[in-house]
Amino acid sequence: MIFGFGKKKQDADDDRDEELELITFQGPVSGSPPKLNDNPGLVRAGLVPAKEIVSDAVSRDAQLLRLDPKGAGYLGMMMVDGMKYPGPRLQKQQGNAVTQILKLLAGLNIQERKRPQRGSIKAEYEGQPYEISIDITPTPNGERLSIYIINLKTRPNKPDEIGISEELKEKIREIAGTREGFIGVCGGPRSGLTTSTVGVVRSVDAYVYGVYSIFDTGTWDIPYVTEFEREAEHDLETTIARCQRSEADVVYAPPIKSEEDAKVILEAASKSALIAEFPAKDAVSGLLQLIKWTGSQELVASNVNAIITSKLIRKLCPSCKQAYAPNPKLLAKIGLPKETKALYRHRVQPQELQKGETWDSCPKCQDVGYQGQVAMFELIEMTEGMEEVIRTKPSPDAIRAQMKKDDMLTLQKDGLRLVEEGITSLEELQRTFKS
């Protein structure tokens, strides 16, 4: 490895380094083959370094690798389970070559340097399929390269894998079962928004109700959801209307990105249930965003059934997590049942061992104590009380107060459920809400 950070140990007892297997790039997701033969110099300078950098990130289960142009070079950063780690450092010329070759492989314009660009690459690593999304952002020092890594085989897909509890799944089924109204799923950057939305769609009972998707869901596998045949010349309003005439009970709509989208989808929600995602930091902000977009408190109060948001939290490593008996006073303080016999935490580190205790490295999590992420959820239901709040005084405090009055699901409640089930720790829950 030319960067010195891309090797991984064979095992804990062997300090010999195993040479990193390189990822195979298979072309743009868009389908247009990259013109590698037209750019032989770029291929020679950038292809192998790009493979090494991405392979190292994939081998470490990183979800994001970012290369920022800084001074005379590029400074790298990785995100693994929501935590930042140092990435590669590249010389300016090599960083440029890596950026341009990945743009080429993603089907982007390598001549364009002043506008943002996005694309994706099909790839394979150790026999598993990946989607490598490339996000280019121009800066005064050059192009910032953000590489988002998705393992298509291990990506959570079923509601329980995503973090949706049985209680929430039943609630979604009940709400969608009315066959009318809008179910919005909102979240911020890197919140797993699309994953959560797919989980909500999959929570609907597709055996009982006709569930249709009116946009290309890409690589997502959503069983029993019918892909509606769209016409290129039809706008969103026309497409939804055609789908509803096809006796759709639930329509999975494309992400809401504008005021026009919001108005069309909420107005159409009087004729069938609609599910769509949109950007907002939490459920309360999402509800207020819909009011702002549509300019109508009445439309939101009448046609929104629920707003759902999620927040990612790290899961304890199943191989090395440790059980402990919680203090009854602690259980009472945080609101867990007094009958709770055990909670879990990540195991002690070598420096915390007592005299005579031994410590073995964990090959599964590489001694981090956590592996993977899961979502905790929040749900705002449009109860009679919430309708009244939206019509009269839709402020964050008023909405929160009504949520508490109606005992609605909050992120804090769902996070404590994950703690009680031994999926995460109290320490991680506290860290997540502080970050």
Listing DSSP states for 292-357 in one string gives: HHH--HHHHHHHEEEEEEEEEEEEEPTTT-EEEPPPHHHHHHHT--TT---EEEPPPPGGGPPTT-
Average pLDDT over residues 150-176: 95
In the beta sheet, which residues pair with residue 136? 117, 145
Q: Please give the Cα distance from 251 to 255 (Å, whole number).
A: 12
Position 364 scores a pLDDT of: 87
Position 13 scores a pLDDT of: 39
Statement: residue 77 has pLDDT above 60? yes
Least confident range from 168-177, 346-355, 416-425: namely: 346-355
98, two tokens: 């890596």
Where are the CATH 3.40.50.300 domain residues in the chain? 159-310+378-405
Statement: residue 18 has pLDDT above 80? no
Least confident range from 16-20, 334-338, 346-350, 382-386: namely: 16-20
Average pLDDT over residues 350-372: 76
CATH architecture of structural domain 8-151: 2-Layer Sandwich (3.30)
Where are the CATH 3.30.450.90 domain residues in the chain? 8-151
**8 A C-beta contact, residue 131 and residue 119:** no
Statement: residue 5 has pLDDT above 50? no
Position 349 scores a pLDDT of: 63
Position 73 scores a pLDDT of: 95
Q: Please give the Cα distance from 141 to 155 (Å, whole number).
A: 35
Average pLDDT over residues 118-129: 95
Statement: residue 356 has pLDDT above 70? no
Own/partner pairs for 232-241, CB < 8 Å, 24+ apart? 236/261, 236/264, 236/265, 237/264, 237/268, 239/214, 240/214, 240/264, 240/265, 240/268, 240/274, 241/268
* pTM for this entry: 0.88
Q: Please give the Cα distance from 278 to 258 (Å, whole number).
A: 9
Q: Which CATH superfamily is domain 159-310+378-405 in?
A: P-loop containing nucleotide triphosphate hydrolases (3.40.50.300)
Statement: residue 235 has pLDDT above 90? yes
Contacts of 81 (CB under 8 A, 6+ apart): 61, 63, 314, 370, 371, 372, 373
Least confident range from 6-15, 260-269, 305-314: namely: 6-15
| Confidence band for 344, pLDDT divided at 50, 70 and 90 | very high
Position 218 scores a pLDDT of: 87
Least confident range from 9-18, 339-348, 375-384, 388-397: namely: 9-18
Q: Please give the Cα distance from 264 to 274 (Å, whole number).
A: 11
94, two tokens: 């090599």
CA torsion sign for 167, 193, 424, 55 is positive
Statement: residue 376 has pLDDT above 70? yes
Write down the residue that tokens 């929160």 correspond to.
400
| Confidence band for 348, pLDDT divided at 50, 70 and 90 | low
Q: What is the per-residue pLDDT across 310-342, written as a single tens digit (0 to 9) for each?
A: 999 999 999 989 999 999 999 999 999 999 999
| Confidence band for 20, pLDDT divided at 50, 70 and 90 | confident
Contacts of 88 (CB under 8 A, 6+ apart): 3, 5, 6, 53, 56, 67, 74, 76
Statement: residue 15 has pLDDT above 60? no
Position 12 scores a pLDDT of: 38
| Confidence band for 361, pLDDT divided at 50, 70 and 90 | confident
Average pLDDT over residues 23-29: 93
| Confidence band for 362, pLDDT divided at 50, 70 and 90 | confident
Position 236 scores a pLDDT of: 97
Give Cα 412 to chain centroid, integer Å.
19
Q: Please give the Cα distance from 39 to 18 (Å, whole number).
A: 32
Statement: residue 357 has pLDDT above 80? no
Position 415 scores a pLDDT of: 97
Average pLDDT over residues 373-379: 97
Statement: residue 419 has pLDDT above 70? yes
Position 248 scores a pLDDT of: 93
Statement: residue 7 has pLDDT above 50? no
